[in-house]
Amino acid sequence: MERSQYANCIEACNDCADACDMCASACLREEDPKAMARCIALDIDCAQLCRLAAAVMARGGDAVHAICLACAEVCELCADECASHPMQHCQDCASACRRCAAECRHMSGNQGGRRNLGMPAPH
């Protein structure tokens, strides 16, 4: 793929990273942030991986497909966790994560769904 063909995926990754940062921050301000620990941790991991994926795509790096596939997996984990909470910031994050996962799968050529990266299933 040409770098210009990464544009939608880069945008989705950056939007997702921003949504994850906002969600983690808002979760920390919830009445019981301890109950949000898994959500916060996944938000942080997802944001970092999304930013890495966007940077690798912008550079046209050789590992772009593997990193974007991993990004899709983590985005799906984060989306599942966020979707389990009723707060609007979590719901917004889940939507951004799902969009990013779809873009990353499309870009990497793996639209068949999840693969097991050795990560535990969500609770």
Tell me the pLDDT tens digit for each residue of 10-62.
999 999 999 999 999 999 999 999 999 999 999 999 999 999 999 999 998 89
pLDDT of amino acid 111:
54
The closest alpha carbon to 73, from 26, 123, 108, belongs to 108
pLDDT reported for residue 110: 62
Comparing 68 with 113, the larger pLDDT belongs to 68
Say which CATH topology domain 3-108 has. Substrate Binding Domain Of Dnak; Chain:A; Domain 2 (1.20.1270)
Domain regions of the chain by residue span: 3-108
CA distance 120 to 30: 25
Q: Write the DSSP string, 4-33.
A: GGGHHHHHHHHHHHHHHHHHHHHHHTSS-G
